[in-house]
Structure 1
């Protein structure tokens, strides 16, 4: 179908591809993957002819139809309705429709057989091209991508960039080409639209090449994975999960071969050095030449960094981190939330999901304290310290600052070593930390903004689309960071792999109410599927706690007594927090002792340390429970 042979593409002195080969066969559904900067988007542009290779060939049949979705289409503008723009895909059908209309107009005054034959031929071709159903098809695909019937009559120019990109995707799908080249097709889609696109692409009969950082989406759609790395293209005969397993096996074999070759090289070098002079110098020289000609095996790169820093926050929050009671929020003509209740408790890891326009970002702003235009209560709990990450915060980065300088100004309590460690986890190593913010890409700025958010002294994180602009490596880093975070967070994202790995509760907005599913995203999807097939058997989402009755307002004398009582309890709480810190350190020390060979090889010593460990562990739990009770009493007094 498409054959790429010995492709070399150079940018300046750098070879992005170096004699790369790849054959795309009919019907294959391929995920083109690789780290940022390895040339995935460039390769798509080479295939469609936007770029010319330095050497090598890209060959295909002349009549092959290619549908190419790329981020440059964001700039496409039109004053026509989105239905009209989408239907531009049917070029021949539209041409025939115009010709048929003109012939019918002529027939009002000219009844010649020639005109009738022409009309008949045009109508026959129009019907053969399914011309009478093209508007229905356009409506169907636009609906699948999230557009309402009313939206289809609006001008393209009135939509935001993300929604315009959906229209361009609809247009490309309607063209039904022989091969689809899709560069980040899920970037501007919400979860329902992504799921619709998955189903559409699974049924698509042509070939597909997808560049995407959404590994869940890739797993659902593709049956081949092609990795762009070190200027080469390597094919794996399966989806993304298969690629990870197969790659691990290949790297294990490669590492073993590398070690064996290095051992052989060292042995040869010793022999050459030993016999370099004397009667066997000629043999040594011959062996040296053989060694120089040896094709060297590269060791495996460790390009999957791990998080090597710990979140720190100085205050523990109370049990109730955030409480929503009888909250209502609306925009003109658009109710978002109506008299809804919800509670975020300490330790909750919440994924807030749903279609665009249902109010996810609005709810996050209310929780973050950035939106006060609502009725009802939205109260932050005791000792809660928040940090809010949203895409607009990229604009608040100081462009003239270096990356390290930006973090130092935001988190002065952290040492440079700690900040470098955090930045290293987000792929900024060595001299990268001295790059100015203004020269960074969108993805790099996102990583800097995330690193800033994670250095905040906060026990409650509010994250709005933190995975936007991140590649798979960066998403994995963020997952690791959130998995070891001991505080509370709520996150909005359309990356289902990310959500499935970080959340223990799912929130969704339905009928203008906040609903909760207690489990992972995978479990939620299974529950939702069962609910759709068996509505009567669907499990109800857990309901938030009912409003508690409030005591009458205190008198002035009671207020003074209450103030003294609160002050005393706060002092007790601080002492208890110090005791918890001491006990946590003691437990950690005892855990380290239990791992020492000198301890676990000595039964008496092991029993003694184990007893101390159990005693300290129980004491820690009791103290933490007492802290919870005390914090609850303070909350009641402050209410």
Structure 2
């Protein structure tokens, strides 16, 4: 069992949490939630023993084995399957010892090791690793490909699979769904619900937390509070606490007014002075804490569009793709006010390509894209934060959009979205990812769009901000197209779905639960296909195959180079952050004499974090585009 007693942790001169006590029982699955920057990742570092508590104690059983997802994946020649099996360290250790025994021709030791390997289930280890990789979206023919052949996003999936292969007593997962599509998230949920160890995960995915977690740890107001149940049950318990504290606060206020009234009347009368003094002491003992505030005071609200033409946009047998490469064929869509459409499909199937076609960022390679007069598009792309001017303020961004609005009008608008006072005039560069996402949404809202195109809009938003966005989208009057792995967002904001697969965009008759069942049926059908049937396909012409592969490598070479450059940049920036982190851990740095040095280090830290966010955003955008090219090539290769 994990126990924390009066735990406190300070980082960068500020308190993340203090006076916190909780217990985590074996085989429980715990969701760690809270606002961005509240200390979730630092608490993870405490669990791993990478940080030490400033006060109190955190006890984790000494014999427990840990597993977490590696953040870096070297460009290895090792196969994907073998790399994932490396996660089972006891197996690899026994395997190495067996090889030594065989070299030494020690038959007795060999027999012992074979028994130990059998005891840990080594006979089916490849099958388990293969099933895990299939669940995370890898095709059977990819399992023997070298790790270096995969792009960064798919390498992160390999790292996740390797962590899941570990025989861990404590599994720590930090945003495990970030690089997964809905298909893989469904599989991961089912897998984690069967996990036999203790799980602690950080996630902003409400549905994922609801499906997986048995307990919640919530960091708020510098406290770590424990709740029993999944995320929805936690919310209900917390709402009850809020109501109780509000009631207690209101009662205290009534009592305070009553006592203060007596003091004001009689404090200067000698006969009543003693009683007045007694009531003053009573006032001092009354609770002074204000009622708990909701996690977010920000309220997104989409402004009413000036007009709603019908239809807003029509696609007639449109083709979408890049250069001369067609990703999607024969697209037929008619978007009218009130359309609320979610796009389903695997990563790389073309969902983002379709969004870019609708937004006008990609011209149709065939067919027609017909837009109505008065159409106003609000487009939130996966790399939307890159479009912000890092040196400009939130106020300046809006002033560039509307030269006629007064500064006060723009400040009033920004204030409702959390940019009040000096926050409205500070530069974008040092803002957090969540603040930049808020600003990007504010810019879209201000333009009063009648067609909203949202491609993963919640990537940088914490749970409370996701909820405010859901509320705003439910009231939105125009047409809405959403790509998201956040199923709560999809369930609560769209009315119908389209499936993007195999180069086609087709209506999907059902909801997300039906999609889950459809995926399971597809997986079962794939497994039932016999090997001879697959082997009866006509072998492709080897010369033509080599030509196509060379053409594909040439086509994606600039993208791969961009990804490699960003990965190198991210690695370098992470090393710099780690060095700064070590410097900021020096207690003497917080003495008054070292104040200037501390400020300089904190400024460096902020600047590097900003550069890291930009590099990661560009890396993700390039990854998505590369995945679409790879999917297209794989589909065309299958048809040869």
* Displacement of 1:381: 3.8
Gaps of 5+ in 1: 108-114, 536-639
> When the two structures are aligned, how many residues end up with a matched partner?
523
Residue of structure 1 in register with 2:88 after alignment? 90
When residues 513 and 177 of structure 1 are mapped into structure 2, their CA distance, relative to the original with a 3 A threshold, is same
Q: How does 1:524-535 map to 2 (within 5 A)?
A: 525=515, 528=518
Residue of structure 1 in register with 2:72 after alignment? 75
Q: How does 1:32-43 map to 2 (within 5 A)?
A: 32-43=32-43
Matched, 1:4 2:1: no
The structure whose Rg is larger is 1
Residue of structure 2 in register with 1:284 after alignment? 276
* Displacement of 1:28: 1.4
CA distance in 2, matches of 1:530, 1:76: 30
* Contact 1:329-1:338 at 8 Å conserved across structures: no
Residue of structure 2 in register with 1:607 after alignment? none
Q: TM-score, normalised by structure 2?
A: 0.76
* Contact 2:394-2:424 at 8 Å conserved across structures: yes
* Displacement of 1:189: 0.7
Deviations 1:187-213 (A, max 9, x none): 111000100001011111222222111
Matched, 1:379 2:379: no
Residue of structure 1 in register with 2:114 after alignment? 123
Q: How does 1:257-336 map to 2 (within 5 A)?
A: 257-277=248-268, 278-305=270-297, 307=299, 309-319=301-311, 321-325=313-317, 327=319, 329=321, 336=327
Residue of structure 1 in register with 2:29 after alignment? 29
CA distance in 1, matches of 2:188, 2:520: 21
CA distance in 2, matches of 1:205, 1:477: 36
What SS class does the counterpart of residue 435 from structure 1 fall into? coil
Choose the corresponding residue for 2:340, options 318, 342, 349: 349
CA distance in 2, matches of 1:182, 1:268: 52
What SS class does the counterpart of residue 225 from structure 1 fall into? strand
When residues 308 and 446 of structure 1 are mapped into structure 2, their CA distance, relative to the original with a 3 A threshold, is closer
CA distance in 1, matches of 2:122, 2:477: 59
Choose the corresponding residue for 1:428, options 405, 419, 422: 419
What SS class does the counterpart of residue 225 from structure 2 fall into? strand
Residue of structure 1 in register with 2:189 after alignment? 198
Q: How does 1:497-576 map to 2 (within 5 A)?
A: 497-517=488-508, 521-522=511-512, 525=515, 528=518
When residues 307 and 179 of structure 1 are mapped into structure 2, their CA distance, relative to the original with a 3 A threshold, is same
What SS class does the counterpart of residue 71 from structure 2 fall into? helix
CA distance in 2, matches of 1:454, 1:208: 39
What SS class does the counterpart of residue 319 from structure 1 fall into? coil
When residues 263 and 315 of structure 1 are mapped into structure 2, their CA distance, relative to the original with a 3 A threshold, is closer
* Contact 1:318-1:382 at 8 Å conserved across structures: no
When residues 281 and 383 of structure 1 are mapped into structure 2, their CA distance, relative to the original with a 3 A threshold, is closer
Deviates more, 1:166-175 or 1:96-105: 96-105
CA distance in 2, matches of 1:309, 1:372: 31
Q: How does 1:106-145 map to 2 (within 5 A)?
A: 106-107=104-105, 115-145=106-136
* Displacement of 1:244: 1.8
When residues 533 and 463 of structure 1 are mapped into structure 2, their CA distance, relative to the original with a 3 A threshold, is closer
Residue of structure 1 in register with 2:481 after alignment? 490
Deviates more, 1:359-368 or 1:302-311: 302-311
* Contact 1:309-1:422 at 8 Å conserved across structures: no
When residues 202 and 414 of structure 1 are mapped into structure 2, their CA distance, relative to the original with a 3 A threshold, is farther
Q: How does 1:219-238 map to 2 (within 5 A)?
A: 219-238=210-229
* Displacement of 1:60: 2.1
Residue of structure 1 in register with 2:98 after alignment? 100
CA distance in 2, matches of 1:397, 1:150: 41
Residue of structure 1 in register with 2:471 after alignment? 480
When residues 167 and 420 of structure 1 are mapped into structure 2, their CA distance, relative to the original with a 3 A threshold, is farther
Deviations 1:175-198 (A, max 9, x none): 031122211111111000100001
Residue of structure 2 in register with 1:50 after alignment? 50
What SS class does the counterpart of residue 437 from structure 2 fall into? helix
* Contact 2:320-2:364 at 8 Å conserved across structures: no
When residues 518 and 452 of structure 1 are mapped into structure 2, their CA distance, relative to the original with a 3 A threshold, is farther
* Displacement of 1:174: 0.6
CA distance in 2, matches of 1:317, 1:160: 42
Deviations 1:256-310 (A, max 9, x none): 1111111112222222333323133233334333433445453131434363654
* Displacement of 1:37: 2.1
Matched, 1:209 2:200: yes
CA distance in 1, matches of 2:301, 2:407: 13
* Contact 1:30-1:224 at 8 Å conserved across structures: yes
* Contact 1:330-1:337 at 8 Å conserved across structures: no
* Displacement of 1:374: 2.6
Deviates more, 1:354-363 or 1:280-289: 280-289
When residues 339 and 296 of structure 1 are mapped into structure 2, their CA distance, relative to the original with a 3 A threshold, is closer
What SS class does the counterpart of residue 398 from structure 1 fall into? coil
Task: Tell me the C-alpha RMSD between the 2 structures.
Answer: 2.8
CA distance in 1, matches of 2:516, 2:347: 21
* Contact 1:74-1:162 at 8 Å conserved across structures: no
* Contact 2:380-2:455 at 8 Å conserved across structures: yes
Residue of structure 2 in register with 1:150 after alignment? 141
What SS class does the counterpart of residue 476 from structure 1 fall into? helix
What SS class does the counterpart of residue 237 from structure 2 fall into? helix
* Contact 2:252-2:286 at 8 Å conserved across structures: no
* Contact 1:506-1:524 at 8 Å conserved across structures: no
CA distance in 1, matches of 2:321, 2:392: 39
CA distance in 2, matches of 1:433, 1:117: 75
Deviates more, 1:122-131 or 1:46-55: 122-131
When residues 221 and 331 of structure 1 are mapped into structure 2, their CA distance, relative to the original with a 3 A threshold, is farther
CA distance in 2, matches of 1:420, 1:162: 39
* Displacement of 1:242: 1.4
Q: Pick 1 or 2: higher relative contact order, CA cutoff 8 A, min separation 6.
A: 2
* Contact 2:298-2:416 at 8 Å conserved across structures: yes
CA distance in 1, matches of 2:524, 2:128: 29
Residue of structure 2 in register with 1:543 after alignment? none
Q: How does 1:610-629 map to 2 (within 5 A)?
A: none
* Displacement of 1:525: 4.5
